[in-house]
Chains A and B, each alone.
Chain A
Amino acid sequence: MEKICVKDLMVPISEYATVTVGTSLIDAVLALEAAQEAYSSSKYEHRAILVLDENHTVIGKIGQLRILKAIETRYDLGCDVEKLSRFKFSDQYIADKCEQYRLEGPILDEESFRTTANKKVEEFMQRPTSGEFVSEESSLDMAIHKLVAGPHLSLLVTKEEEIVGILKIGDVFASVFHKMRNRKGAL
């Protein structure tokens, strides 16, 4: 089988949507929208944004789920969950209360939109964990293992110490599926 490595499938960092720390959620969403609009003229589809620090180093990632979680802020309404934990209530009781308050509270109202829109990206971005990095020279096998073990929707691709790209689960899946289809007769 033809050997494919990570750099063959990754999206170069220069072509990915990025924002810097301090950007508000609403500006981050606009950046994502702009990147998606450019999809027609680009071969990459964007579902996430990378967050860069002042040195242009990747320090986090924001996907659609993270944005929805930032909007859904009903965890602490009417009840200080942290307090219940200190006062020895069981994990099950606390989980039930969280769910109850989440269900009781309105999510999409004017106030929550306003509050969420002004949140800074660093408040809700996903910080990369050690298992989320993969070298650009790594094999596709290694990338699949890391995506499955995470599980992760994407991996940050490194060249030495520098992040040079994003490896998306969709691109890995497409590559594997393509190979399987081509070899169907031999399987």
Chain B
Amino acid sequence: MNELQKLYERIIQRVNINLRELDFDAEPYSTGIIQPEQMNKFYAFYGITTDHPLNLVFKNSGLAGSYFLGKCRVSNSLLYKSDIRGDELKREGASFQYQGFTIDLNDDELIDIRDSALAKTLVHNFSHDPETPEVFFIKDTLAMDYANIHGAPTDGAFLGPFATVDLTTIHDSVIGTYSYIQAGEISHMKIDPGTIWVHAQDQFNFYYQHDPDLLKKYASVVAGDRPHGIIFDFIEEHEEAFQRLFDAVNIETIESVPKTASLDRYAVVLPNTTIADNVLISQRAYLENSHIGKGSNAQENCYIIHSKLDGFNVTAHGAKIIESDLESDVFVGFNSFLYGKKGARLHIGKGCIVMPHTIIDIDAPLHIPKDHLVWGLIRNDAELEQNSISFDALKAHKTAFNRGNLHFEGNGYLFVKAFKDRIDHILDANGAFFNGENNTGHAQRNQNLSLNTIQPFQFGSMKGLYPNITIEL
């Protein structure tokens, strides 16, 4: 057994110790998440820019195919094709607002990954834990394929495939396949697959549970097996297109991209795609035969195929848009799967919010009116009727309502406002409102980014692991 295998077993053990009270065993799931024989085949890479502090520390870790930006420390961990994006970390001297507290930062914030294994996982945003404003920790955590750890420090966690933890500190919890959690802080919870939970104390509580039998068709995993389902198959079908990007050192520039937009060199752009001003296309995004309107963005692991986005559209991490027409200001949440077909296109009206982890799978054209919230699984007009509500109707709810598998309690107005504010913040951070002089964001700043690669040991007991390295400006 080489050092990498020993390290992996130690990580699994630590995860299991943290989750012992939940009677959860991560070991059967671990097979195939990190494949030791794959860990020496891919280089790791990191971004260099004057816009973000650079401080990378790698110690006793495997980093195959992973990307790093900003300040990150990785120790005793295994990362496989994961994106550790530290471009929104808090800076020294900044203030962090939390429930009436103004918390000043003495140092730049750091992403600190310890004793964890992450596969095809995105880590982004900044720690929303007021107790550790300068450290975005990920500790004793096992994250399966296409999980998102977004502003969510974790200490003892198992994240199933396509699970998202967002702005939430996670302690000793299991997050099931295709579940989305945004709840501030959770502890010792075992979240069933397909749970969508957005909770803000004394404001609102949104809880939707995907039908487990129906969800299996789209995303599922059983212990001892690899994830499977339509969404997983969809990604695998398009995986080959990325290979060329990772094989070549230099990729030819696409001249039609405006100077105000940013197209990551690790994104796939296939004909006939047009990109407007102030657009941000992140690494591992996939665009094909689509129009990306002004100020829109496609985050990591997004797929936009045969679709038209009018402008100021947010396509959050992992969202997929196929055969769809989106009017302006539409938000498509994390890992949503909008699966229109040729002759059965999906049309989404201006300003709509597609909740994270929504699945729309249609065989006939479907039209979502403007200013609507949609969620859950929608396959036809009847399911759209049940799983949507106009903003006006939602704002009028001051106590509670229940529709199908959705339970909502609290103030609907505050819910809509919280989402709209956040969408506005995302657009602003991404540079959607850049006017040639002011309001720069990722779309403009990322143009000044260059990349370096680092390589793992190719032989011996350390094969697949990387040398201990410190990189700093």
Which residues on A are within 8 Å of B, measured CB to CB?
Answer: 83-84, 86-90, 93, 96-97, 100
Contact = CB atoms under 8 A, between A and B. Distances in A.
B407 A89 contact: yes
B189 A90 contact: no
* Range of interface residues on B (Cβ < 8 Å): 10 to 19
Given A90-B409, A93-B409, A84 B400 contact: no
Contacts of B400: 93, 96
B75 interface: no
A90 B197 CA distance: 15
Contact of B409 (A86, A89, A100): A89
Given A93-B400, A96-B400, A97-B402, A88 B407 contact: no
Contacts of B320: none
Contacts, number: 23
Contacts of B197: 87
Given A93-B400, A96-B400, A86 B189 contact: yes
B402 A84 contact: no
Interface string B190-214: 0000000101000001010100000
Contact residues of A: prevailing secondary structure = helix
23 contacts: A83-B209, A84-B207, A84-B407, A86-B189, A87-B197, A87-B199, A87-B205, A87-B207, A88-B183, A88-B199, A88-B205, A89-B205, A89-B207, A89-B407, A89-B409, A90-B409, A93-B400, A93-B407, A93-B409, A96-B400, A97-B402, A97-B407, A100-B402
A148 to B, nearest CB: 38
B174 to A, nearest CB: 13
Contacts of A97: 402, 407
A65 B43 CA distance: 70
A-B residue pairs, 9 tightest by C-beta: A87-B207, A93-B409, A93-B400, A89-B409, A88-B199, A87-B197, A88-B205, A89-B205, A84-B407
A165 B407 CA distance: 50
Contacts of A90: 409
A93 B183 CA distance: 19
A38 B365 CA distance: 72
Given A89-B409, A90-B409, A97-B407, 6 more contacts: A87-B205, A87-B207, A88-B199, A88-B205, A89-B205, A93-B407
Contacts of B209: 83
A59 B205 CA distance: 42
Contacts of B189: 86
A36 B213 CA distance: 49
A89 B198 CA distance: 12
A134 B183 CA distance: 50
Nearest to A89: B409
Contacts of B407: 84, 89, 93, 97
Contacts of A96: 400
Contacts of B205: 87-89
Contacts of A93: 400, 407, 409
A96 B197 CA distance: 20
A87 B198 CA distance: 10
Contacts of B402: 97, 100
